Structure 1
Amino acid sequence: MIALSLALLIPGAGVILLIVRPHLRRDLQKLRAWNSGHAAAGRCLSVDTYETETEEGLLVEHLHLYEFTDASGRQCLFSEWSRRSMTNRKGDSVTVYYEPERPEWATAIPPLIGRKWTILELVTVLVLLAVLVVPIPVLGVACAVSGSACWG
């Protein structure tokens, strides 16, 4: 029974990772930029808004293009997606956080560690947890109460 639960848990964890990974990777890049201690004055060059109809309703995303000059005097451009209401508009002055080794990972929008998950992501995680994790202790309690050797 434990082997079956573990056999289901590993693919379940893989599914969760596939759902969260793209967001997590960019969030970690942003977090590294924010924590690097390097900041520069920048400017929002443009904002393009894209709307997509999904099962959950209308998805609105904004693609910002920014420029800044790093500490070595190099002019840098980077783009950044945001699903939040438009925080920066074309022409706005912004503070850009960046790692000198990777200015393309710069950010002008706070990292989303702890972001609000979409309903689909949340439901998927909860269902996987219910199916894969909850049966283990429930079966253990059932075996202890019945006195049978469930694991052997």
Structure 2
Amino acid sequence: METFFYVVPGLMIALALSALIGMLRRARHISGAWNSGLTAEARCLNTYTTTSGGGGDSSVSTTLHHVYEFTTREGRAVRFEERNGPRTVVTGDIVTVRYTAEHPERATAKAPRPGRLIAEQGCMLVFFGVFIAFCLVFMFTVHAGFGVLDDVVP
């Protein structure tokens, strides 16, 4: 029984760390694309939405996806998908994308807003930090509680 109170928070911490790493990695890719200076005109090939959540009494979240295609300076055709892009871009629109020469498939059609990116990263770091700290405090509290119970219960 005591193991359950270590395994579940441990898994929650592992999930939080993997989400944090993924978020930081994507932010680094976007920042790199903004700072590379390489731009191209891309055509929006498709837009679609995905939903998550149960509906009914629980909330439903909708995510907008765009599929873009552009040609790099070297003549390579690149197609990529981006989530949470501008809602005003529709299929057939031409947009400016920014990319790095090493990984053009990590391009972004989002306009450069480094201040907003830093603020979002800071908020997410605080959120995940508090979440992980809560899990650790819970684990230590449970550990101390089981130690007290061991002394009380023969």
| 1:72 matched residue in structure 2 | 74
Deviations 1:4-31 (A, max 9, x none): xxxxxxx997664223122221121111
Gaps in structure 1 of 5+ consecutive residues = 1-10, 134-152
Aligned length: 120
1:126 aligns with 2:127: no
Pair 15,49 (structure 1): closer, same or farther in 2 beyond 3 Å:
closer
Which structure features the higher share of strand residues?
Answer: 1
Deviations 1:51-108 (A, max 9, x none): 11169721111221101111122222111122x6625221121111011121111111
Distance 1:115 1:37 in 2: 23
| 1:98 matched residue in structure 2 | 99
Structure 1 residue ranges, 4+ long, deviating more than 6 angstroms after superposition: none
Which structure features the higher share of helix residues?
Answer: 2
Pair 127,48 (structure 1): closer, same or farther in 2 beyond 3 Å:
closer
Gaps in structure 2 of 5+ consecutive residues = 1-10, 138-154
| 1:52 matched residue in structure 2 | 52
Among all aligned residue pairs of Structure 1 and Structure 2, give the percentage whose two residues are the same amino acid: 34
| 2:120 matched residue in structure 1 | 115
TM-score (norm 2): 0.61
TM-score (norm 1): 0.62
| 2:144 matched residue in structure 1 | none
Distance 2:131 2:70 in 1: 44
Pair 126,49 (structure 1): closer, same or farther in 2 beyond 3 Å:
same
Pair 30,127 (structure 1): closer, same or farther in 2 beyond 3 Å:
closer
Structure 1 residue identity aligned to 2:130? L
Q: Is the 8 A contact 2:13 2:135 kept in 1?
A: no
Cα RMSD for the two superposed structures: 3.3
